Amino acid sequence: MKLYYSKGACSLAVRIIIHELNLKAEFISVDLHSKKTEHHLDYNQINRKGSVAALQLDNGEVLTENVAIMQYLADTNNATHLLAPTKDWKRYRTLEWLNYLTTEIHKGFSPFFNPNYPQEFRQTVMLPTLERKFQLIENHLKNNVYLMGENFTLPDAYLFVMLRWVVPVAKISFEKFPNLNRYFEALKKREAIQLSLKEENLA
């Protein structure tokens, strides 16, 4: 299989899960501005959405959307430690986190990546909204090591990627979020995360 990624982008979460599962994959970098792959192919022809991540299976199928790809990888590798099986209540709690991260947190960062948003709108509207959402996670992590309690699961990989954006992209200080900071620092020590960061030259 092939993972189409961009350095430090949300596709890093899928790379982390690939390494958590010790899977073999080819990693193909995409320039999100020109929409060209590192092999000079038109990425829009591979993924009509033009965004990363995209996972191309050996049968040619291309799966997009981070949360769908992560679920696919966990389910097809019987990784019930990363995502509980269907009908298990914990699965739906994990999916609840994944959905919150992708719709509320990930997309909450979009205006900070897009230079067309007015700076004042970012500061007065988007920043307080994002901080309020991080506060919810901060409170949750007061009594939980990971999002799902004692064990690392799929949404932790996703949240890790977005925590990398907190200071440089949104210019939010971790001072207000000591639990998130502790969680972020602990995740950086995880083997699959260290390997993923090294591979994207982010270490």
Q: Footprint of ligand GSH on this chain (CB under 6 A)?
A: 9-10, 32, 50-53, 65-66, 102
Least Å distance between CB 111 and ligand GSH?
Answer: 12
Least Å distance between CB 27 and ligand GSH?
Answer: 15
Q: Do β-strands 2-5 and 26-31 pair in parallel, antiparallel, or remain unpaired?
A: parallel
Burial of 26 (0-12, 13-18, 19+ CB in 10 A): exposed
Least Å distance between CB 8 and ligand GSH?
Answer: 9
Q: DSSP assignment, residue 25?
A: -
Instruction: Say if CB 111 and CB 117 are below 8 A apart.
Output: yes
Nearer of residues 78 and 110 to ligand GSH, judged by Cβ: 110
Residue facing ligand GSH at closest CB distance: 51
Nearest to 108 by CA among 137, 81, 85: 137
Least Å distance between CB 10 and ligand GSH?
Answer: 4
Nearer of residues 21 and 32 to ligand GSH, judged by Cβ: 32
Per the listing, tokens 């959905």 go with 99
